[in-house]
Amino acid sequence: MICSIAQLKAQGNQAQIKGFIYGPTNVPSEFSTVVLMNQDSVFMTGTMSAQDGAFLFDNLADGDYYIMVKNMEFKTFISDLITLEENEVVELDKIQLEDNVNVLDEIVVRGEKAMVEIHPDKMVYNVENSVNASGNNGLELLSKSPGVVVDMDNNILLQGKSGVQIYINGRPSRISGSDLTNMLEGMRSENIQSIEIITNPSSRYDAEGTGGIINIILKKNTRSGFNGNLIGSYSKGFQVRSSIGSSLNYSGKKINVFSRINYSDNDFLQDRNETMLRQDFLLDMDSESINDRKGLNFSGGLDYQLNTEHSISFDARVFINDRVETLESDTYIFDVNEIIDPELLVAQTVDEAPSSNYNGNIHYSFNPNKSSSLTA
């Protein structure tokens, strides 16, 4: 999609980029994640479209930028290169998102819950109501959630801010970095009920989440007795993705026992061409990167209702991952002065990064009445 640009002079001291986002039926697209990237497609900052579809990036330095718009229900949009002069306002023409072709032929009956709910203290993205959520892992779901950006290094940002704390079912995950990435990649969208986005956490949350809190709510078993399921998926395009998972649950009058196991194998292929001038030499590099990620994750737990006021629960999670990245490159070296004959440099590197993470929780709840509760 081509996005034309109208440029207007600004009266302030800093430049701006602004615009409006609409869906395929010309309805303003609220809660779309809007990302500002530099000319190398590196994340700069992010925001979220307003009720009328408007977005604004201000206090920008002059330079070249791209705008990317992400919304779970539509195709991702990337603008043409935007050249921003000093103290200039760039107002983009209307950005119209396109339907996701994967769901055009599907008829889905959903409950009464909206896709996105706004509460005084949080925003709730109801994953189970989204057709497009199927087949994604937890990290991919976060990257498509309103106001959330996952950068090239898998850092999670909320409305452009880092320091985001991830909670699972209202409890802090206590992990970060590659361990957090592996945990999220090991989650299946089919096991996630909703994602709560809390930009200004109250005192009931730990102070660690200075950039906000994202609370992932997993689905609970609501059927009595023994039950389970087996789910598998396979897709092939620019990347190959396959997974198989199973769950087994038991629910009684006072006790609920649950377990889930999932194995995934994803291959990501990336081709890249770079041309660089280094002193008197021109470097033309073609590279191909194959990233093979395998993951096994298990989660299980037990909830026990001691009486009408007291309950206790235990849960444990195990994540075992293996990532192998193979990079092959051909670099042609040309002497611009034509003194030295051209050379070809062929290289291959293999980077293997296995990892594992184990965590468990004990949770006690005391609820003397409907208006107050105590958890630990």
Decide: 234 and 242 in contact? Cβ < 8 Å. Answer: yes
- Render pLDDT for 44-57 as a digit per residue (tens, 0 to 9): 888 889 989 999 99
Average confidence (pLDDT) over 363-376: 65
Decide: 376 and 364 in contact? Cβ < 8 Å. Answer: yes
Residue with tokens 């590659």: 178
Residue 139's nearest CA partner among 152, 124, 123 is 152
So what's the pLDDT on residue 16?
92
Average confidence (pLDDT) over 275-283: 84
CA 264, distance to chain mean position in Å, is 17
CB burial string 339-365: b at 16+ within 10 A, e below: eeeeeeeeeeeeeeeeeebebebebeb
So what's the pLDDT on residue 28?
92
Calpha distance 287→273 (Å, rounded)? 6
Calpha distance 156→161 (Å, rounded)? 9
Calpha distance 34→16 (Å, rounded)? 14
Calpha distance 318→324 (Å, rounded)? 20
Calpha distance 102→132 (Å, rounded)? 8
Calpha distance 191→134 (Å, rounded)? 10
Proportion of the chain above pLDDT 90, given as a percent = 14
Q: What sign for the dihedral angle of Cα 175, 178, 182, 185?
A: positive
- Render pLDDT for 63-96 as a digit per residue (tens, 0 to 9): 999 999 988 788 889 999 999 998 899 999 999 9
Q: Domain boundaries in the chain? A: 5-96, 108-218, 225-375
pLDDT bucket at 110, cuts 50 / 70 / 90? very low
Lookup: tokens for 251:
């629910």
CATH number of 5-96: 2.60.40.10
- What is the radius of gyration, based on Cα positions, of the chain? 24
- Name which residue leads in pLDDT, 109 or 77: 77
Q: Name the residue type at position 286.
A: D
So what's the pLDDT on residue 71?
86
On the question of pLDDT at 108 being above 70, the answer is no
Q: Which residues contact 252 (CB under 8 A, 6 or more apart)?
A: 224, 225
User: Exposed, middle or buried: residue 240 (CB in 10 Å: 0-12, 13-18, 19+)?
Assistant: middle
3-state secondary structure of 257: strand
Calpha distance 357→263 (Å, rounded)? 15
Mean pLDDT over all residues of the chain? 82
Decide: 293 and 323 in contact? Cβ < 8 Å. Answer: yes
CATH number of 108-218: 2.170.130.10
